[in-house]
Chain A
């Protein structure tokens, strides 16, 4: 953004002819400028984006407040839309909504700590040297997306230096292995027309999807370690999910848990119009938490975008597209990337604010009529794709982009426009429930209202990881169905139970209530802050749920033989089952097997002692 103001023509210079909120009108640029190109108010260094072009002026929305500006200030055309700088240096970094480097800004502010206006610092360091290892050879024919070399960006992630889309040619020069900045020339491509010198950095406009070869169906789960999600409402890598919830229902805790534990390679965390202290928390936590596989801080796989609620709204509007553009770039390297956007409602509100300034005709609740198309242009960038580049092995290079967007409905009302519209574009929906949160049941994902369309896509993956227990012959898919069935039956029984009391129900129905309680307290309930409970691997998850379902099946048999539900409630093993979540570590599956043995033993001895009394 900063380097292009040389060689200005007259038609590239205009002046401010009106100011209104964060909008300005500019005269003098209307004949040359393209829609969505950036402009700069020269003396203040403020950047804006052109959103209307009229016959005698253009309208731009500025990314900072305009206090104390005067008319006739000089404005120049920057000849490019809002674009991301894509190169090594993105990971473990923190940016604002238009990719200004917040850490650099803080260091340059000499400890001031506040965001001054018109800061001009390049998004990525031009001085830092990266160790580049070439992987392509001279005279190779290369095209967009092909990898010419690699940089170990962080110990966790190898950054592949790719040829920018739309470039192709024969590699006519490449540097030797060594340390280079992102603007040093490292290779040249020659084709019939010319020879182009390129460096490690590419720029990409945020509202344009990065190209891919074709899209394929997702078949791998994004495994989260959160039991409710992984069993009941799983998502696939390349999927989309909305997480709506009123305040205090734990949206942020879920987003943070996902960022910590999910099995994506790279995470882009977009704090969009949220609390400043939350971003400080994320930065602190992710520096502290160590990735169990590599022993490195998790921050090394994360890009943070922080446009807090009090930062300019136009930059907030840009922030989720900035995030998804960076994510696509890592997807193109063949990584599984997850974008966590917290919260898309704040983003929608920024649209509404700008739309209000433009005096556009509003649709529902003041939101502009183009809210659905904007939302879909965000969620549709998710998916599993065959990338345009070839991988070194010659096989298809696959990458995925998963989008998890939280939604903050006013008054927790899920029928409001942002929640309702988002539902149309996502395949999974985790509805956070204020009543569950009130009774301190976390994660407060409502098991009746939530859904996921992904189980069919990914059941194969789970099937391969099944723990075969001869006593109960169902796999993950079967477990899901059974749990859903029990919980929905419990819901049907709710009213009658309140009327006549649990004691007066038939034994089979009391069993449903009892097992539901076990499922809720011993499986769905999960403490994100407990060192053992915060992440459940697939083996433990299946063990835990099968223990409960096994108890259910065996008890059903016992009830048929004339035993009472009270007999079963006295089993010692119930307590063990309830404690599995926070007392059995993931790598100690033997404990779960022991509990199973104990369970079967207690059932056996009950049969023996009472000898099957008939009612």
Chain B
């Protein structure tokens, strides 16, 4: 039976202190009904024989010790999941359908009896299957150089003003698995502004892929605590479809920086000891509890792949959020401001990017036999190209030898023809690789030392 309290002993910031006189569950959700008609949510944070401490998720302004009823729900955070009527729709952080343009709840609720605890439990490391199947995003820079593997977590490190939203929308619209297996995309907007949300949904609708997308949106002006809940709601839904319904699920989380700031805000309200830049010491473990909900499990067909997006404050990759993320995820795609100014889209800084799981996923069986050699050669030659660019600023273009001039042409082509593509241009693996060979053929054969001879004979264009 649910219990109602009518008196709050103390209110300190987001924390309410009640005197303990009943059986409380640790982590239990409480509802706080004020006499002005508002409802707030909270959770049991600490308890002992005298006192229960509740962390309130919304603003505590206006609460007094006497003006509220506090209901203990005897429940933890749960999300209702339906097998059928979630596809193509948009939900808020509590899993209720919403109308984006009005930011309002929609009437139709999900009717289902499937309820899942949003905190989940860790995957047994022994039960994990090492990921080795690819996802095609249709974007050459990703598919060719940093192939996304099913079960991988591959973040995008971006900055304000860079086109990460466009890139994400394009990935979501185009991504597919090459086998004929069911594929689902879960889009989770964390603290994003309404314009962004509408942009995403319009792009998803245009793509014709909308029936494979479930969206969860937390707006920038929604309560801070909901930012901490929504990725877990999205991932709980993902786990259900991946491991109980055997689907391949791609989860896009944007923007993790908003999430981390929410975490910092609550931590500081709780007067915890901060570590770097005011972020709590448990930032790593907390982010890991999101990112690690990715992967494949032995004996199950489905998989969860994550693309978290984060904007690096003042483009600094050493900021705690990207830094901590980079330690947990399996690689990263870094967007670069100079490439963006040059008009290259997507402006992926290839030398700072990596996909750690790629080596076991690509090749004859999944993409193409020459893929590994080609990607390694492209990166190596592009790195040489950048050295030549530096050299030009000293000796001028006239001072270059034949090989360096070839590199110069290669590098320009690499940026313009390989990296650069249209916002709705969907290239498959073999198109990506054939563009790669076209530009590699700018270089003399002797410079392509990372490619095996038999591939040279087969693919090099004289």
Residues of A in contact with B (beta carbons under 8 Å apart)? 17-21, 25, 65-72, 94, 96, 102-103, 105-106, 109, 111-117, 246-248, 271, 273, 275-277, 279-281, 283-284, 306, 308-311, 313, 346, 349-350, 352-353, 356, 362, 365-366, 408, 410-413, 438-440, 501, 529
Q: How far is the CA of A412 from the CA of B319 in the complex (A)?
A: 11
- Determine whether B211 belongs to the interface, using a CB cutoff of 8 Å to chain A: no
Stretch at the interface among B294-302, B408-416, B421-429, B432-440: B294-302
Contacts of A19 in B (CB 8 A): 26, 46-48
Measured CB to CB, the closest approach of chain B to A277, in angstroms, equals 6
Measured CB to CB, the closest approach of chain B to A399, in angstroms, equals 29
Measured CB to CB, the closest approach of chain A to B388, in angstroms, equals 14
- Determine whether B41 belongs to the interface, using a CB cutoff of 8 Å to chain A: no
Contacts of A111 in B (CB 8 A): 298-300
Measured CB to CB, the closest approach of chain A to B379, in angstroms, equals 7
Contacts of B351 in A (CB 8 A): 438
Q: Are A106 and B124 in contact (CB under 8 A)?
A: yes
Q: How far is the CA of A19 from the CA of B24 in the complex (A)?
A: 11
Other-chain contact of B152, A18, A69, A277, A501 (Cβ < 8 Å): A277
Contacts of B330 in A (CB 8 A): 275, 277
Q: Are A67 and B76 in contact (CB under 8 A)?
A: yes
Contacts of B281 in A (CB 8 A): 349, 352-353, 356, 366
Interface residues of B in 299-351 (CB under 8 A from A): 299-300, 318-320, 323-324, 326-328, 330, 332, 351
Q: How far is the CA of A352 from the CA of B284 in the complex (A)?
A: 12
15 A-B pairs in the complex with CB atoms less than 8 angstroms apart: A18-B46, A18-B49, A19-B48, A68-B26, A113-B243, A115-B123, A247-B326, A273-B284, A273-B288, A280-B125, A352-B281, A362-B273, A410-B276, A410-B320, A440-B383
Contacts of B126 in A (CB 8 A): 94, 102-103, 105-106, 279, 283, 306
**Using an 8 Å CB-CB cutoff, how does the interface string of B8-24 with A read, 1 for contact, 0 for none?**
00000000000010011
- Determine whether B131 belongs to the interface, using a CB cutoff of 8 Å to chain A: yes
- Determine whether B357 belongs to the interface, using a CB cutoff of 8 Å to chain A: yes
3 nearest CB pairs, A to B:
A18-B48, A309-B288, A411-B318
With A248-B354, A309-B288, A356-B281 as known contacts, state yes or no: A106 contacts B26, CB within 8 Å: no
**Using an 8 Å CB-CB cutoff, how does the interface string of B359-401 with A read, 1 for contact, 0 for none?**
1000000000000000000011001000000000010000000
Contacts of A276 in B (CB 8 A): 122-123, 125, 128, 292, 295
With A277-B357, A411-B323 as known contacts, state yes or no: A310 contacts B124, CB within 8 Å: no
Q: Are A365 and B276 in contact (CB under 8 A)?
A: yes
Contacts of A346 in B (CB 8 A): 284
* Closest B residue by C-beta to A350: B285
Contacts of A284 in B (CB 8 A): 130
Contacts of A72 in B (CB 8 A): 23
- Determine whether B289 belongs to the interface, using a CB cutoff of 8 Å to chain A: yes
Q: Given known contacts A280-B129, A306-B126, what 17 new A-B pairs fall within 8 Å (CB)?
A: A20-B45, A65-B119, A68-B76, A70-B23, A114-B122, A114-B127, A279-B125, A280-B125, A284-B130, A308-B122, A308-B292, A309-B284, A349-B285, A353-B281, A356-B280, A410-B324, A440-B380
Contacts of A71 in B (CB 8 A): 20, 23-24, 47-49
**Using an 8 Å CB-CB cutoff, how does the interface string of B71-103 with A read, 1 for contact, 0 for none?**
000001000000000000000000000000000
Q: Are B48 and A17 in contact (CB under 8 A)?
A: yes
Q: How far is the CA of A536 from the CA of B342 in the complex (A)?
A: 45
Q: Are B285 and A309 in contact (CB under 8 A)?
A: yes
- Determine whether B275 belongs to the interface, using a CB cutoff of 8 Å to chain A: yes
Other-chain contact of A113, B25, B47, B124, B284 (Cβ < 8 Å): B124
Q: Are B273 and A70 in contact (CB under 8 A)?
A: no
- Determine whether B181 belongs to the interface, using a CB cutoff of 8 Å to chain A: no
- Determine whether B282 belongs to the interface, using a CB cutoff of 8 Å to chain A: yes
- Determine whether B274 belongs to the interface, using a CB cutoff of 8 Å to chain A: yes
Q: Are B273 and A356 in contact (CB under 8 A)?
A: yes
Residues of B in contact with A (beta carbons under 8 Å apart)? 20, 23-28, 45-49, 76, 119-131, 151-152, 243, 272-276, 280-282, 284-285, 288-289, 291-295, 297-300, 318-320, 323-324, 326-328, 330, 332, 351-352, 354, 357, 359, 379-380, 383, 394
Contacts of B20 in A (CB 8 A): 71
Q: Are A106 and B127 in contact (CB under 8 A)?
A: yes
Q: Are B328 and A309 in contact (CB under 8 A)?
A: yes
Other-chain contact of A366, B119, B273, B352, B380 (Cβ < 8 Å): B273
Q: Are A309 and B298 in contact (CB under 8 A)?
A: no
Measured CB to CB, the closest approach of chain A to B101, in angstroms, equals 37
Q: Are A310 and B288 in contact (CB under 8 A)?
A: yes
Other-chain contact of B383, A69, A277, A439 (Cβ < 8 Å): A439
Measured CB to CB, the closest approach of chain B to A494, in angstroms, equals 15
Contacts of B125 in A (CB 8 A): 94, 96, 102, 271, 276, 279-280, 306, 308
Among B280, B285, B359, which residue has the most Cβ atoms of chain A within 10 A? B285
* Closest B residue by C-beta to A65: B119
Other-chain contact of B295, A68, A112, A248, A277 (Cβ < 8 Å): A277
Q: How far is the CA of A365 from the CA of B284 in the complex (A)?
A: 14
Contacts of A246 in B (CB 8 A): 323, 326
With A356-B272, A440-B380, A529-B359 as known contacts, state yes or no: A66 contacts B121, CB within 8 Å: no
Q: Are A277 and B131 in contact (CB under 8 A)?
A: yes
Q: How far is the CA of A17 from the CA of B24 in the complex (A)?
A: 12
Contacts of A440 in B (CB 8 A): 379-380, 383
Q: Are A366 and B127 in contact (CB under 8 A)?
A: no
Contacts of A273 in B (CB 8 A): 284-285, 288
Q: How far is the CA of A66 from the CA of B280 in the complex (A)?
A: 21
Other-chain contact of A17, B49, B76, B289, B379 (Cβ < 8 Å): B49
Q: Are A366 and B130 in contact (CB under 8 A)?
A: no
Q: How far is the CA of A570 from the CA of B8 in the complex (A)?
A: 86
With A279-B125, A439-B383 as known contacts, state yes or no: A366 contacts B24, CB within 8 Å: no
Q: How far is the CA of A275 from the CA of B297 in the complex (A)?
A: 15
* Closest A residue by C-beta to B320: A410
Q: How far is the CA of A20 from the CA of B52 in the complex (A)?
A: 10
Q: How far is the CA of A543 from the CA of B429 in the complex (A)?
A: 43
Other-chain contact of B275, A247, A308, A365 (Cβ < 8 Å): A365
Q: Are A67 and B26 in contact (CB under 8 A)?
A: yes
* Closest A residue by C-beta to B318: A411
Q: Are A70 and B379 in contact (CB under 8 A)?
A: no
Measured CB to CB, the closest approach of chain B to A136, in angstroms, equals 37
Measured CB to CB, the closest approach of chain A to B105, in angstroms, equals 28
* Closest A residue by C-beta to B317: A411
With A102-B124, A117-B121, A412-B318 as known contacts, state yes or no: A68 contacts B285, CB within 8 Å: no
Measured CB to CB, the closest approach of chain B to A269, in angstroms, equals 12
Q: Are B130 and A438 in contact (CB under 8 A)?
A: no
Among B121, B125, B394, which residue has the most Cβ atoms of chain A within 10 A? B125
Contacts of A413 in B (CB 8 A): 318
Contacts of A362 in B (CB 8 A): 273
